[in-house]
Amino acid sequence: MSDLSFVRQQYLNYFKSLDHKIVPSAPLVPENDPSTLFTSAGMQSMIPYFFGAAHPEGKRVANSQKCFRADDIEEVGDNRHTTFFEMLGNWSFGDYFKKEQITFVFNFLVKELKLDPKKLYVSCFSGNKELGIERDNEAAELWQELFQSVGVEAKIIDNPEEAGLQDGKIYFYGEKKNWWSRSGVPVNMPVGEPGGPDSEIFYDFGEQDSDLARAMHAENPCHINCDCGRFLEIGNSVFMQYQKTNSGFVPLAQANIDFGGGLGRILAAYQNQPDVFKTDAFLPLIEKIQSFTSFSYDDQDKQKYFRVIADHMKAAVMLMSDGVFPSSKEQGYVLRRLLRRALRQAAYLEIKQETLVELVPSVVEIYADFYPQLKEQQAKISQVLADEQKKFSRSLSKGLKEFEKMLAQKSLFTAEIAFYLYESFGFPFELSLEEAKNRSLQIEEKIEEKYQSKKTFHSLNSKQGSQAQFKSGLADQGEMTTKYHTVTHLLHAALRQVLGDSVEQKGSNITAERLRFDFSHPKALTAVEKANVESLINEWIKADFEVDKQIMPKSEALKTGAVALFIDKYPDIVNVYSIGKNPSGNKKGEDFISRELCSGPHVERTGVIGEITLTKEKAVADGIRRIYALQKSA
């Protein structure tokens, strides 16, 4: 067993021994949640339970959650940032709280993994008087007692960013470091959003002998949140106990725990290896890449390229295993960007692009014991990658022609040109700059700074556009969104009745304005088929059928005919929603119209939904169709 598998399994076994139910990882693309493209934290699917909804598995759950963070794509290249990672998580929904959680995580690290407690440091929230939230002395004192119980002195230090380490163990930081919500610091949180103070755990790899460290410490003292490379955050316990209202922050009806610890980072601490790319999570990939090139990973000038290829190829394989394929929009666009960035980096190591397909088995080998479906999908993933490589070769040719065309009109290579090439053709900034240097072109002063400014401006505009979607998804249980959640089930059932049981849901996106539904089908619906699907849905709505919810074992639910998207993501105990009594019986003679496993909110009777109309229908991938549904205006 690799150390990666050992650390993951040790965590799950430990929390199982503490009466936690181990739940499966949700897919990398959240179901019925338009607020985000990817699952970026284990807590995304847990939001309703912080507000008191009953989790099917009870008040204590834990898992290892697959995560992907697109915001980190540009950060990949140092020794710790990755786009895909697993997050070890444990949650308490109104059960245990601060004392138990801090004890649990300390014992896991020190007693189960046997990390040296002298190498562990923690941070706590310094409080905010304006918000009426006190300094978290309780957490600091709990940590202090635990350190002292294993013979480690644990001084508590204020203002570490100014005061430095001062031989401390426990440090107080403000809301920029030790407050957690999905939207960041309290001032950015929308009304209704939950959040709370947190306590982060850091591992000390020792003082760094590097130019970066010396430059940073020349003006500012080192502290545990310093970026010099000495300290690595390996876990964060969020005390999810507040909700933002129009009049400020109020306590939630129940105090919750939300812990997340990066498996790769905990593994780095376990192996005492500051470079995550030299741990079991990446080393097989790095060694495979080295076999393709004469360059060494230890060559500082080439190291970034190794890391980008290894990270992006792993992330691409994991995304494709969860049903994401290259396209020009949304998740597919991000995947395409990953693949093309990895393929282009290969040139810097003098690796043929088509060789990168050979990395797929290495990714499968790293994760096959915990994600056995990867082996089944290996051939398909390899073929998609090969096809994408061919497409990129054509795009690269077009991009280089555009590069020449633009530069024929301008002798100066500018940030504006670099950003255009990046947005239009996927050219990384480094690639454009290298192309310009190879052509001995004059380069705009402070081009990197200006380029980053353009990217930041673009990113802020994109975020402002996405904030309008923030309230949607599983966290949004508003009236219209709830109606559309139920319509999703009716639409799925109607498509299966009209087109056949080969129809399977491939994803959905729900807002308060409309429903979008992806499904498997080889060709466009005819006008008659579309009309029949719409007629069935409205017939069932008009019949005012009961929407019945039952909680039962997953194995039993599947025996009753219930269907599910990504069956493996559901825990052993599930919510099953059954709709109606089918007056004519469906093709199997079952007496229900729809029966599905689902974690979303639903209406109690179909009659409250109102008449639905189906709008445009189109292809989004080979064998995958997309259809939209709206409530008809009164």
Which pairs from 615-618 meet CB under 8 Å and 24+ separation?
Answer: 615/514, 617/524, 617/525, 617/530, 618/524
**Does residue 97 sit in the same domain as residue 190?**
yes
Convert the pLDDT of each residue in 574-615 to its tens digit: 889 999 865 444 445 567 899 998 877 889 899 999 999 998
The strands making up 573-579's β-sheet, listed across from edge to edge, are 547-553, 573-579, 594-597
Q: How distant, in Å, are the alpha carbons of 281, 282, 351 from that of 336?
A: 23, 21, 19
Average pLDDT over residues 84-91: 96
Instruction: Identify any residues that bridge with 576 across adjacent strands, giving them in sequence order.
Output: 550, 597
Cα–Cα distance, 43 to 211 (Å, whole number): 38
In a domain, 290, yes or no: no
**Does residue 7 sit in the same domain as residue 88?**
yes
pLDDT given for residue 466 in this prediction: 39
Highest mean pLDDT among 195-209, 215-229, 338-352, 443-457: 195-209
Got the DSSP string for 247-312?
A: TEEEEEEEEEEEEEEEHHHHHHHHTT-S-GGGSTTTHHHHHHHHTT-SS-TT-TTTHHHHHHHHHH
In a domain, 62, yes or no: yes
From 276, 308, 343, give the residue that closes a domain. 276
CATH number at residue 581: 3.30.980.10
Convert the pLDDT of each residue in 93-127 to its tens digit: 999 999 999 999 999 999 999 999 999 999 999 99
**Does residue 512 sit in the same domain as residue 621?**
yes
Lowest mean pLDDT among 210-224, 320-334, 388-402, 524-538: 388-402
Average pLDDT over residues 374-395: 88
Instruction: Identify any residues that bridge with 549 across adjacent strands, giving them in sequence order.
Output: 577
Percentage above 90 pLDDT, the chain: 53
**Does residue 123 sit in the same domain as residue 164?**
yes
Convert the pLDDT of each residue in 125-165 to its tens digit: 999 998 889 999 999 999 999 999 999 999 999 999 999 99
Residue 540 has pLDDT above 90, yes or no: yes
> Higher-confidence residue: 423 or 154?
154
The total of other beta-carbon atoms located within 10 Å of residue 32's CB is: 22
Average pLDDT over residues 514-528: 90
Query: Does residue 455 sit in helix, strand or coil?
Result: helix
Are 595 and 561 within 8 A, CB to CB?
A: yes
Cα–Cα distance, 467 to 611 (Å, whole number): 29
Count, residues in the chain: 634
In a domain, 474, yes or no: no
**Does residue 483 sit in the same domain as residue 463?**
no
From 467, 493, 518, give the residue that closes a domain. 467
**Does residue 269 sit in the same domain as residue 312?**
no
Are 122 and 154 within 8 A, CB to CB?
A: no
Cα–Cα distance, 244 to 240 (Å, whole number): 12
Counted domains in the chain: 3
Are 412 and 406 within 8 A, CB to CB?
A: no
pLDDT given for residue 634 in this prediction: 47
Convert the pLDDT of each residue in 252-297 to its tens digit: 999 999 999 999 999 999 999 999 999 999 999 999 999 999 999 9
Convert the pLDDT of each residue in 425-477 to its tens digit: 767 676 678 778 877 888 998 898 888 887 776 665 544 543 433 333 344 44
In a domain, 183, yes or no: yes
In a domain, 343, yes or no: yes
**Does residue 484 sit in the same domain as residue 456?**
no
**Does residue 522 sit in the same domain as residue 573?**
yes
**Does residue 449 sit in the same domain as residue 502?**
no
From 276, 305, 332, give the residue that closes a domain. 276
Q: Are strands 505-510 and 612-621 parallel, antiparallel or unpaired?
A: unpaired
In a domain, 195, yes or no: yes
CATH number at residue 103: 3.30.930.10
In a domain, 282, yes or no: no
Average pLDDT over residues 161-182: 94
Are 157 and 163 within 8 A, CB to CB?
A: yes
pLDDT given for residue 380 in this prediction: 93
Amino acid at 483: K
Percentage above 70 pLDDT, the chain: 91
pLDDT given for residue 586 in this prediction: 47
Domain span at 383: 296-467
Residue 32 pLDDT grade (very low, low, confident, very high; cuts 50, 70, 90): low
In a domain, 187, yes or no: yes
**Does residue 72 sit in the same domain as residue 173?**
yes
**Does residue 242 sit in the same domain as residue 315?**
no
Cα–Cα distance, 204 to 224 (Å, whole number): 8
Q: What is the mean pLDDT of the chain?
A: 88
Residue 230 pLDDT grade (very low, low, confident, very high; cuts 50, 70, 90): very high
Q: Which residue has the tokens 């918000």?
A: 131
**Does residue 384 sit in the same domain as residue 452?**
yes
Query: Does residue 439 sit in helix, strand or coil?
Result: coil
Convert the pLDDT of each residue in 309-318 to its tens digit: 999 999 999 9
Got the DSSP string for 520-588?
A: E-SSPPPHHHHHHHHHHHHHHHHTT-BEEEEEEEHHHHHHTT-B-SSGGGS-SEEEEEEE---TT--TT
pLDDT given for residue 166 in this prediction: 94
